Amino acid sequence: MSKNQKYQVDLSQRLIDFSINTIQFLSRLPRRKEFNVFVDQLSKSATSIGANYAESQASSQAEFRHRINICLKEAKETLYWYQILKEILSDKSELFSICEHLLTESKEISLIFGSIYQKGKK
């Protein structure tokens, strides 16, 4: 998807796509011990965003805010791990390009949940 193109899928589907893309990306990382932390942490944090968002859709207002806050925290954690990976993969390889795309997507997801959370405060 190009930078200028708006995301045409609902948020739930976008989060599913992000989770799948993250898992597929992680499966391509080198099978070296130092990459294990990224596989473990990113697989948990990236997929947790969508799972908590799904739970938020069938909850009370208070629970909704709580779940959205968890989504925001998980999105920020995911962003953190992608930022580190981008530096490690800075050789401009195909993995670097995929990481850059997922980093951008995680930034956008963080902004979305930050906005939802702030609007819920009002």
Query: Which residues span the domain enclosing 71?
Result: 11-121
Residue type for position 16:
I
6 phi and psi angles, rounded to 5 deg: -75, 150
Q: How many domains does the chain have?
A: 1
Q: Is 1 inside a domain boundary?
A: no
The CATH number covering residue 71 comes to 1.20.1440.60
Q: Is 71 inside a domain boundary?
A: yes
- The pLDDT value recorded for residue 93 is 85
- The pLDDT value recorded for residue 86 is 94
Q: Is 49 inside a domain boundary?
A: yes
Q: What does the block give as tokens for 98?
A: 């995929």
Let me know: does 119 contact 68? Beta carbons within 8 Å: no
User: pLDDT tens digit string along 30-75?
Assistant: 999 999 999 999 999 999 999 999 999 998 999 999 999 999 999 9
Q: pTM score, two decimals?
A: 0.88
